[in-house]
Amino acid sequence: MIFDNDPSDLTHPRDLSILRDRAIPGGRVHLEGWARFNGVRVHVESVSPRGLVAVNGELPLSGVHNLKYLDGSYPGSRLPLMSGEVSFLDLDRFWLTRTSVFDVIDDETPLPGLLTTIDGTDFGVADSAGTVSLAGVPQLQLVWLDDGEPPGDEWQPDGYQSFTRLVPRDQVPGLRYVEWTAVWRDITVKVAGIRGTRAHIFVERGGLPAVEHPEIRHGANVKSGWSAVVSRTELSLRSWSSAERPVGRGTVIGCVAHVRGRAGVVVLPGDRDEHDEGIIVRKDLGETVTEDYGLYALGTQRHSPMEWRTIVAPGDAEEDVTSARRIESAVEWQGEMRAVEGLDEPNDVAFVSAVSAPLEQVSQLRYTIHPVALSDLPRFGWQMPDRRRH
């Protein structure tokens, strides 16, 4: 399946019709995200019956119709959270996600994972943050989806019986994350990946099932989410969704390596990982994951944020983990070069020297790359920069 819509509509929608919910064969499409209104960043929800854009946030009083406070305790605040309706023409600097939900999974449904379409051909994308070449060029790693070997010498076999190649980030027009919903042993699950006769399933929150299932993998927090690799025949397929989002500038900060041929964030276990040995490879939810990844809670609470992890055993690290590099980033802002801790592109800011700087006021990212020994990788910690923030 190729992109049915122009990816540029997610950052530069042509007119109000782009934002409207609409029915499509077998499903529905909804757009929401962020935009700037009179200098203020607001959340874009939908198009109102009045032909205005429904928004919420710290809204100014001028130019907003049907203004309402979201919480009765806020009216005394200098910048209360409010909802209202504004003209499409008063919005700019959009960052939108187009979510399509379909009622049936059939032979035409794309397999779960992160995808892109270039010149009419679909490719998998290993990770939306990607890596940076030794020459300082941001790159994304494409995954060949068809059977057989791909054409061209740029494609390299990886450790997952697939082929990948690195391309400049600006050659990727847009990203689409496909996810299936199914029922497995009376439990509603999401499907992160399909490989032959196996399905990689997960539940993001809610704790472990009351009945023990030996296939389930989980971290120390048993009150949050879990994952499992099961037979595809055990799934009762229900529906699927496709979430299209911009590629953006992205930012890569920290240590990245090729792990079994695929680029990933790499760290050593931290103080809270006393039962883990080896090298931890991290990914956000919404990325392509292989069967060796399991869901891991970043905390001890029921609703702790989750991430995907796989651990490379110490005896396998030398062979499986290659091209490790430490990546640092800087931008010019207010006439000075400053270190970057990350980008929050939906909110249109860069985190520069512990300050949030408007993204339009900073220069393009400039990267510095240093080779790093595996023994010198940073240890996982709650305060360490996260190169995947984008």
Residue 387 has pLDDT above 60, yes or no: no
pLDDT score recorded for residue 390: 41
Question: Of the residues 35, 64, 99, which one is the last residue of a structural domain?
Answer: 99
Per-residue b/e over 343-354, b at no fewer than 16 CB within 10 Å?
A: bbbbebbbbbee
Residue predicted with more confidence, 305 or 80: 305
Where does the pLDDT of residue 348 fall: very low under 50, low under 70, confident under 90, or very high at 90 and above?
A: very high
Strands 91-102 and 27-37: antiparallel
Inside any domain, residue 119: no
pLDDT score recorded for residue 385: 42
Inside any domain, residue 51: yes
351-379 average pLDDT score = 93
68-76 average pLDDT score = 64
The β-bridge partners of 349 are: 344, 358
Inside any domain, residue 329: yes
Where does the pLDDT of residue 253 fall: very low under 50, low under 70, confident under 90, or very high at 90 and above?
A: confident
Supply angle C-alpha 228, 271, 344, rounded to 5.
70
For the segment 121-130, what is each residue's pLDDT rounded down to a tens digit? 999 999 999 9
**Spatial separation of the C-alpha atoms in residues 51 and 338, rounded to whole Å:** 43
Three-class HEC string of 54-118 = EEEECCCCCCCEEEEECCCCCCCCCCCCEEEEECHHHEEEEEEEEEEEECCCCCCCCCCEEEEEE
291, 281, 261, 292: which is closest to 159 by C-alpha? Answer: 261
Lowest mean pLDDT among 147-151, 271-275, 288-292: 271-275
Q: Percent of the chain having pLDDT more than 90?
A: 79
How would you class 286 by CB atoms within 10 Å of its CB: exposed for 0-12, middle for 13-18, buried for 19 or more?
middle
Q: Which two tokens stand for residue 127?
A: 């990770």
**Spatial separation of the C-alpha atoms in residues 139 and 135, rounded to whole Å:** 11
- Predicted TM-score (pTM) of this structure: 0.91
Inside any domain, residue 69: yes
Question: Of the residues 62, 80, 99, which one is the last residue of a structural domain?
Answer: 99
Where does the pLDDT of residue 274 fall: very low under 50, low under 70, confident under 90, or very high at 90 and above?
A: low
Lowest mean pLDDT among 3-12, 92-101, 109-118, 211-220: 3-12
pLDDT score recorded for residue 2: 44
357-361 average pLDDT score = 94
80-98 average pLDDT score = 94
Inside any domain, residue 83: yes
pLDDT score recorded for residue 219: 86
For the segment 134-173, what is each residue's pLDDT rounded down to a tens digit? 999 999 999 999 988 999 889 999 999 999 999 999 999 9
Q: Could you give the number of structural domains in the chain?
A: 2
Inside any domain, residue 114: no
If you average pLDDT over every residue of the chain, what do you get? 91
**Spatial separation of the C-alpha atoms in residues 137 and 170, rounded to whole Å:** 10
52-77 average pLDDT score = 81
Question: From the CB of residue 58, how many other CB atoms can be counted at a distance below 10 Å?
Answer: 14
Say how many CA atoms lie within 13 Å of 268 toward its Cβ: 10
Inside any domain, residue 206: no
Question: Of the residues 62, 78, 99, which one is the last residue of a structural domain?
Answer: 99
DSSP state of 379: B
**Spatial separation of the C-alpha atoms in residues 87 and 212, rounded to whole Å:** 53
What range defines the domain where residue 362 resides? 324-375
**Spatial separation of the C-alpha atoms in residues 286 and 307, rounded to whole Å:** 9
Inside any domain, residue 61: yes
Backbone angles phi, psi at 76, to 5 degrees: -80, -5
**Spatial separation of the C-alpha atoms in residues 38 and 91, rounded to whole Å:** 8
